[in-house]
Amino acid sequence: MASITLAQGLNEGLRYAMTQDPKVVCLGEDVGKLGGVFRITDKLQTEFGEDRVFDSPLAESGIVGTSIGMAIYGLRPVAEMQFDGFTYPAFEQIVSHAAKYRMRSLGRVSLPLVIRIPYGGGIGAVEHHSESLEAYFTHTAGLKVVTPSTPSDAFSMIVQAINDPDPVVFLEPKRRYWVREDVELPVTDGMPFGRAAVRREGNEVTLISWGPCMRTCEEAAEEAASDGVSVELIDVRSLVPLDIDTILASVKKTGRAVVVHEAQITGGYGGEIAARIMEDDFLSLHAPVLRVAGYDMPYPPAKLEDIFLPDIDRVLDAVDKVLNY
């Protein structure tokens, strides 16, 4: 057992995948000598050489576009976007090619590539460094979209993402990079890819979240428990594919659901989950599904990010509302 951070879980997972499969390569801005601005690729270049871990020129469309080419050849590229807000130049390659290649080749060519993106706020960063872009990708059929919230998941999910035959947008909740967990490496008993985890069992309200907001939800569930309210907490882990069965089973039990994410509320993925619960099991619901999310504004400057990010009070307010509906 070793105490590792989520960032180290990713680093160890990449190392493991690269050792297992010589076709895995890592590329991106500053991923080589520097080991990435968050050190997720730390020391990998020294260990695996410059043909396996290399700096790209400063161009995100290039990073993803060339990764697509490498995947067509038969490599398994792991492309790093330095920050969420700098993914946009790669948008065309992701949406027009990564997501569509399987369909356009009638299933003949799949693209096993991983696009790693540190995302979300809460670290006091300057503008463009705190964006939650999951909905852009969940809206784009053909991409898998996953996000770990614990160090052990970080390890097993990055390995699974690399082994997956489809393009995976791998969202790394950067404010959780430094959370710790005692982990036995390598993690080989992780949950299957695409599955949600019930992090806490309860029977009155289902709280649904992922990555960045898991901590807030854990604390809210704890506080609710001390007020005698039993909250079941689901870590979605995989937005696409969505483990809807785990969510519905929970809602059948509790009859109430609150979805929490820090992305702006309009068009956020919470709306998708809420709609599916309502469509699939309306009669189990005692209250409308509520969303706690960022406001419909550009992510605010650091000094105001606390008003934007869902906090325990806002989550508990929603829990209260569905209980007292």
Binding to ligand TPP by residue 29, rule CB under 6 A? yes
Tokens of 145: 């979209």
Q: Tell me the residue number closest to ligand TPP, measured at CB.
A: 86
Nearest-angstrom CA–CA distance, 174 and 80 = 13
Tell me, residue by residue from 27 to 66, as one string, x for binding to other proteins by CB under 8 A and - for no binding. --xx-xxxx-x-----------------x-xxx-xx----
Phi, then psi, of 314 in degrees rounded to 5: -65, -35
Question: Which of 231, 318 has the CB closer to other proteins?
Answer: 318
**What angle, rounded to 10 degrees, do the helices at 151-163 and 6-20 form?**
30
Q: How far is the CB of 304 from other proteins (least distance, A)?
A: 5
Site for other proteins in 61-90 (CB under 8 A): 61-62, 85-86, 88-89
**Which partner from the list other proteins, ligand TPP, none does 127 bind, CB cut-off 5 to 8 Å by kind?**
other proteins
Q: How far is the CB of 37 from other proteins (least distance, A)?
A: 7
What sections of the chain are H helices per DSSP?
6-20, 44-48, 60-73, 91-92, 101-104, 134-138, 151-163, 214-226, 244-254, 269-281, 305-308, 312-323
Q: How far is the CB of 93 from ligand TPP (least distance, A)?
A: 14
Question: Which of 241, 298 has the CB closer to ligand TPP?
Answer: 298
Nearest-angstrom CA–CA distance, 88 and 90 = 5
110, 317, 321, 323: residue in contact with other proteins (rule CB under 8 A): 317
Task: Go through 108-122 and write b for each residue having 16 or more CB atoms within 10 A of its CB, e for each that does not.
Answer: eeebbbbbbbbbbbb
Q: How far is the CB of 61 from other proteins (least distance, A)?
A: 6
**Which partner from the list other proteins, ligand TPP, none does 286 bind, CB cut-off 5 to 8 Å by kind?**
none
Site for ligand TPP in 54-93 (CB under 6 A): 58, 60, 82, 86, 89
Please, which residues have CB within 8 angstroms of residue 41's CB and are 6 or more apart in sequence?
Answer: 11, 14, 26, 28, 31, 32, 35, 53, 80
**Sheet with strand 197-200: strands edge to edge:** 197-200, 231-235, 205-209, 257-264, 290-294
Comparing CA positions, the residue from 83, 235, 74 lying closest to residue 165 is 74
Question: Which of 89, 300 has the CB closer to ligand TPP?
Answer: 89
Does residue 26 contact residue 76 with C-beta atoms inside 8 Å?
A: no
Nearest-angstrom CA–CA distance, 296 and 301 = 14
Comparing CA positions, the residue from 215, 219, 232 lying closest to residue 316 is 219
* 129 among known catalytic residues: yes
Choosing from 97, 128, 129, 286, the catalytic residue is 129
Q: How many residues bind other proteins (CB under 8 A)?
A: 39
Site for other proteins in 271-310 (CB under 8 A): 295-298, 300-305, 307-308
Question: Which of 12, 131 has the CB closer to other proteins?
Answer: 131
Question: Which of 82, 149 has the CB closer to other proteins?
Answer: 82
Nearest-angstrom CA–CA distance, 250 and 233 = 9
Site for other proteins in 119-178 (CB under 8 A): 124-128
Question: Which of 28, 112 has the CB closer to ligand TPP?
Answer: 28
Q: Which residue ranges make up the site for ligand TPP (CB under 6 A)?
A: 29, 58, 60, 82, 86, 89
Q: Which residue ranges make up the site for other proteins (CB under 8 A)?
A: 29-30, 32-35, 37, 55, 57-59, 61-62, 85-86, 88-89, 124-128, 265-266, 295-298, 300-305, 307-308, 313-314, 317
Which residues are catalytic, by number? 129
